Chain A
Amino acid sequence: MSAPRVLPDAERDAAFEREALACLPDVARFARSLTRDQTQAEDLVQETFLRAYAGYHTFQSGSSIRRWLFSICHHAFLRLAQREQRLVLTEKGEDAELEVLAAVHDHAAAHRAGVDHFIRNIDIGPAIRAAIDSLLPVYRCTVLLVDVDGMTYEEAAEVLGVPTGTVRSRLFRARRLLQQQLLAHARDAGVAGAPSSPSAQTQP
């Protein structure tokens, strides 16, 4: 990794506009996923770019500025949320193996009830968004980084400032919670009755 850059002011500002401000739509989306509120998200974006500008000389050229900005955004959100004492940082049950087994168990039950096919057949976008919004922030931002934004476990860990194993366990738990909500949504919507082959009825 190369050393922090020391640039003349005009050059630094031009680079900041070209590199950092170009990521504003992505940061805005991430901020919206953290806050779930448009006004708070815009304040968070503003705070993120102010902090990024103040610390731009510490940015390591060659690394991902997008992840650097996401990390600043996440830390700013944590500070804000902790100040307002509305953040639950951890939750019991973060065991990756148990979560994946539970997810498969839930799918097997949904398959037996004939509701699992809905995920391929109807527009579940609104239901997914509602389910993601209902997650605790620690799970929501992990899902957004990995499943929506396409980051690896390691990249998400860098943004969130946690070990890779923590990202993995939070992600697996979040996915199980989302699947549970979506399958419940399918049952509530009356999606049932599809012929289910016996294959997935076998419990792992």
Chain B
Amino acid sequence: MTTSPDGTVVNEIGCRATVLRLWDYLDHALADSQRLEVDQHLRDCSACAEHFGFARAFLDALPASWPRPIDTEPLRRRVVERLREVGFSLP
């Protein structure tokens, strides 16, 4: 047991338990108590903190890499034209 900066009592976990929560932690998919355990471990363990830092940088790079479609207006016109054939009508 240890205490987090805000005074909450937190279970101590090891490196293996911490890295097993790597993606769930970064995806905000952990329960609060589990997240606090990871936070506490990362404060004390530079090796795990390095892994988490790399994984976070990797996740940050993914959406930035993916371009949005440049111009979908021609496709929209095609879709609307096809929809009109089955009864769709715009005011």
List residues of chain A with CB under 8 Å of any chain B CB: 9-10, 13-14, 16-17, 21, 24-25, 28-29, 32-33, 42, 45-46, 49-50, 53-54, 97, 100-101, 103-104, 107-108, 111, 116, 119-120, 124-126, 128-129, 132, 143-144, 146-150, 152-153, 168, 171-172, 175, 178-179, 182, 197, 199-202, 204
- Cα distance A200–B50 in the bound complex, in angstroms: 6
- Cα distance A201–B48 in the bound complex, in angstroms: 10
- Cα distance A10–B89 in the bound complex, in angstroms: 7
In the complex, which of the residues A29, A120, A129 contacts B69, with contact meaning CB atoms closer than 8 Å? A29
Taking a contact as CB atoms under 8 Å apart, the answer to whether A97 and B20 are in contact is yes
Taking a contact as CB atoms under 8 Å apart, the answer to whether A199 and B78 are in contact is no
In the complex, which of the residues B48, B57, B80 contacts A21, with contact meaning CB atoms closer than 8 Å? B80
Residue of B nearest to A182 (CB): B58
Taking a contact as CB atoms under 8 Å apart, the answer to whether A204 and B48 are in contact is yes
Taking a contact as CB atoms under 8 Å apart, the answer to whether A119 and B61 are in contact is yes
Taking a contact as CB atoms under 8 Å apart, the answer to whether A143 and B54 are in contact is no
Taking a contact as CB atoms under 8 Å apart, the answer to whether B54 and A119 are in contact is yes
Tell me, yes or no, whether B31 is within 8 Å of chain A by CB: no
A sample of 14 more A-B contacts (CB under 8 A), given A132-B62, A204-B19, is A14-B91, A24-B76, A53-B86, A100-B19, A101-B20, A103-B55, A107-B51, A107-B54, A146-B27, A150-B63, A168-B29, A179-B58, A200-B51, A204-B16
Taking a contact as CB atoms under 8 Å apart, the answer to whether A120 and B57 are in contact is yes
Tell me, yes or no, whether B43 is within 8 Å of chain A by CB: no
Residue of B nearest to A153 (CB): B29
List residues of chain B with CB under 8 Å of any chain A CB: 15-16, 18-20, 22-24, 27, 29, 46-51, 54-55, 57-59, 61-69, 72, 75-76, 78-80, 82-83, 86-91
A-B pairs, 10 with minimum CB distance: A200-B50, A128-B65, A125-B65, A199-B46, A202-B47, A147-B62, A204-B19, A104-B19, A148-B66, A25-B72
Interface SS, B side? helix
Residues of B within 8 A of A204 (CB): 15-16, 18-19, 47-48, 51
In the complex, which of the residues A25, A53, A201 contacts B47, with contact meaning CB atoms closer than 8 Å? A201
Residues of B within 8 A of A13 (CB): 88-91
Residues of B within 8 A of A129 (CB): 65-67
- Cα distance A128–B59 in the bound complex, in angstroms: 11
Residues of A within 8 A of B19 (CB): 100-101, 104, 204
Give chain B nearest CB distance to A141 CB in angstroms: 13
Taking a contact as CB atoms under 8 Å apart, the answer to whether B79 and A46 are in contact is yes
